[in-house]
Structure 1
Amino acid sequence: MTQFSHTQTAHCESGVISNLFGHHGLHISEPMAFGIGAGIFFGHLPFVKVNGVPGSTYRIWPGAIFARACKRLGVEMESHKFGSVDKAMKALDQMIDKGVPVGMQSSVYYLPYFPESYRFHFNAHNLVVYGKDGDDYLVSDPIMDTVTRIDTESLIRARFAKGFPAPKGKMYYPLNVPQEVDFNEPIKAGIAQACHYMLKIPVPMFGVKGIRFLANRVKDYPAKVGDRRAALYLGNIIRMQEEIGTGGAGFRFMYAAFLQEAGSLLDKPELNDIGRELTIVGDSWRNFAANAGRVCKARSADNVSYGELSKMLVQIAGQEENVFRRLSTVKL
């Protein structure tokens, strides 16, 4: 049976990168994987509904961190999606028989090792299957504190869950992993791309502009959609921030850790300073979530409450803009 070294991480995609690459001899921390993959982001998408209400994202779209990290680190990956369950499970079993751990996309809802309160319809969760014992598959799920297992039927349901984005049995594994990598250029490329996405995308729903866009909408929620839906809209902002994929504040803390690690590797102490500044932004996001939660529980239709939350978001937007403008001027 394949031995797999499992490390618990904060986020599934960057955690799978760290664990899977480490298994093949390329040791990279989760924050470094997240930073090289330019994972930090913000977007508010009123036309993309999550459980019937507008969606927000605090990270780049699923799969992008992995693709960027592989490209910048010179890792060659093989990836497959499947039209049938039989082909998908046969392909998985073939790789496991070869002793190759396999990353895959799944739905959180059908993972029985998750506590029931954490199981919801989110189809972009990443995990590693590294072995099989009878009818159970052995799983390294980055957000769990230890390895676990899943029965065949549950794994099939998780791999072929309906909804967006449909996993379609997606599985992936490295074909070639360099044992030694110069992190300098990947770090620089990751920072440059993150700054561009946070500051320069012309669409108003993304980056720093997107936070201000959300702020403008939040203050008008009670008047435009009514008390009940306003609370649902606000509750989903909190949920997307604090529960799904590490959350807005969590991603800010992770990127801050990346900047501090990068500062040491590149001998650029200003990156350490910017990282500390970004942790303050993370605290601001957590403070916003706490206050928004109180508004939701009160079911307040008072525009002043939503207006104050809007002002908090405007302040956060200013903080993030300062961080990324400063970061964009560092000579790397």
Structure 2
Amino acid sequence: MEIASQADTFQHVQAAHCENGVTTALLRHQGLEFMTEPLAFGMGSGLFYIQIPFLTVNNGPAISFRTMPGAIFKRTCKSLGVDITHKKFSSEDSARKFLDQKAEQKIPVGCQVGVFHLTYFPKEYRFHFNAHNLIVFGKEDNRYLISDPVMENTTTLSDEELTRVRFAKGTFAPRGHIYFPERVGVVTEDVIRKGIVKGIKRNVGDMLHIPGSVAGVDGIRHTSNHIRKWRDKLGLKKAGLYLGQIVRMQEEIGTGGGGFRFLYGAFLEQAAAYLHNDQVANISEDFTKSGDMWRASAIKMAGVYKGRLTEQKDFEEIADMLVEIRLVEKDAFKKLSKLNLGK
């Protein structure tokens, strides 16, 4: 069926993470009421880990606990047979005209933006991070209607404010990136089950079998090895700033961290009901454990960043915590890989 023009009936969805929330809200708006944030995250194989070589963010290591921006939306829609449109623009004017056209048609759309100049964000959350996602679901009194999934309520932005964040400069510059469902077919429970299985198998591959040492569970060990050397190599102050950056990437900016591990556990619980497989639900407990361990490591890292912990043994303890996390996640994904889930 063709996408309906129903911005006046758009329902804001508050979520733990922006892209999950955008995906959930846009698909629910098109009648896929079963969609939840955990299902969107799991079908989109959102769980990941990587320390990107030779790249820094806010003068610290570039670490992500999730897959590449945009992949969750694309993968989830593809699994469900939903056709999508996504565009980037060479000019602010062409980006504005396209968005205004969708707003006039009352078609809600996802937008990738930078958060540093996002005026409704508290100042302490405005970092140079260009992979945030929000929904524009209309325009009234020359202001865009904004549904940001990490906020409790909807808000508005002026043309100048929205253009500034849509064309933020730097790493992952959005270039006006806009995306939305184009056509939704009949989505049966069998389609949902196949989407769940595909998402799990792809996530197993991403975490266990990517070559090299910087991604997946081996990427966690890679970071652990770096942490052991930072105090001597960088000095205590800079090493503390690096650990603070990991905490920020984990808990504040939107790359997931411990929260994504809890979310993946919730996905497996919901997946178990669709797949009629209690073993899947049991493995969800491993990801809850991993989430708790990531949160504990963040507290320890924050102690170094704030100057309360200063010894090399503190860096060693943090590194050891990451080694333990790696083992838990590796074991959990190996368990998933051995299940007979079908195709």
TM-score, normalised on structure 2?
0.94
Candidates 215, 220, 224, aligned match of 1:211: 220
- Residue matched to 2:32: 26
- Residue matched to 2:282: 273
Q: Does 1:148 align with 2:155?
A: yes
Candidates 209, 214, 226, aligned match of 1:200: 209
- Residue matched to 1:12: 18
Unaligned runs of 5+ in 1: none
Candidates 275, 299, 310, aligned match of 2:319: 310
SS in 2 for 1:265: helix
Question: Deviations for 1:34-71, whole angstroms, at most 9, x for unmatched residues?
Answer: 00010000111241100122111101111111111121
Q: How does 1:183-198 map to 2 (within 5 A)?
A: 183-198=192-207
Question: Deviations for 1:177-213, whole angstroms, at most 9, x for unmatched residues?
Answer: 1242321111111000101111111210111101111
Question: What is the CA–CA distance in structure 2 between the aligned matches of 1:318 and 1:275, rounded to whole Å?
Answer: 15
Q: Does 1:260 align with 2:266?
A: no
Question: What is the CA–CA distance in structure 2 between the aligned matches of 1:48 and 1:280, rounded to whole Å?
Answer: 30
Q: Does 1:103 align with 2:110?
A: yes
Question: What is the CA–CA distance in structure 2 between the aligned matches of 1:117 and 1:8, rounded to whole Å?
Answer: 20
Structure 2 contact 258–294 (Cα < 8 Å) conserved? yes
- Residue 113 of structure 1 aligns with an amino acid whose one-letter code is Y
Task: Compute the displacement of 1:285 (Å).
Answer: 0.5
Question: What is the CA–CA distance in structure 2 between the aligned matches of 1:23 and 1:304, rounded to whole Å?
Answer: 52
Structure 2 contact 80–187 (Cα < 8 Å) conserved? no
- Residue matched to 2:251: 242
- Residue 72 of structure 1 aligns with an amino acid whose one-letter code is S
Moved more, 118-127 or 252-261: 118-127
SS in 2 for 1:109: coil
Q: Does 1:89 align with 2:81?
A: no
Question: What is the CA–CA distance in structure 2 between the aligned matches of 1:74 and 1:106, rounded to whole Å?
Answer: 26
- Residue 317 of structure 2 aligns with an amino acid whose one-letter code is E
SS in 2 for 1:298: coil
Task: Compute the displacement of 1:3 (Å).
Answer: 2.4
Question: What is the CA–CA distance in structure 2 between the aligned matches of 1:74 and 1:154, rounded to whole Å?
Answer: 35
Task: Compute the displacement of 1:302 (Å).
Answer: 2.0
Question: Deviations for 1:59-85, whole angstroms, at most 9, x for unmatched residues?
Answer: 111111111112111111111111111
- Residue 69 of structure 1 aligns with an amino acid whose one-letter code is T
Task: Compute the displacement of 1:301 (Å).
Answer: 4.5
Question: What is the CA–CA distance in structure 2 between the aligned matches of 1:267 and 1:234, rounded to whole Å?
Answer: 42
SS in 2 for 1:289: helix
Q: Does 1:325 align with 2:334?
A: yes
Task: Give aligned pairs, total.
Answer: 332
TM-score, normalised on structure 1?
0.97
Question: What is the CA–CA distance in structure 2 between the aligned matches of 1:185 and 1:167, rounded to whole Å?
Answer: 31
Candidates 106, 112, 120, aligned match of 2:119: 112
Structure 1 contact 10–246 (Cα < 8 Å) conserved? no
- Residue 14 of structure 1 aligns with an amino acid whose one-letter code is N
- Residue matched to 1:286: 295
Question: What is the CA–CA distance in structure 2 between the aligned matches of 1:46 and 1:89, rounded to whole Å?
Answer: 35
Structure 1 contact 102–128 (Cα < 8 Å) conserved? yes
- Residue 95 of structure 2 aligns with an amino acid whose one-letter code is A
- Residue 2 of structure 1 aligns with an amino acid whose one-letter code is D
RMSD: 1.2
Task: Compute the displacement of 1:247 (Å).
Answer: 2.5
- Residue 272 of structure 1 aligns with an amino acid whose one-letter code is A
SS in 2 for 1:83: coil
- Residue matched to 1:121: 128
Question: Deviations for 1:72-100, whole angstroms, at most 9, x for unmatched residues?
Answer: 11111111111111111111111111111
Of all paired residues, the percent bearing the same amino acid is 45
- Residue 122 of structure 2 aligns with an amino acid whose one-letter code is P
Question: Deviations for 1:2-24, whole angstroms, at most 9, x for unmatched residues?
Answer: 32111100111111010001111
Task: Compute the displacement of 1:246 (Å).
Answer: 5.6
Unaligned runs of 5+ in 2: 1-6
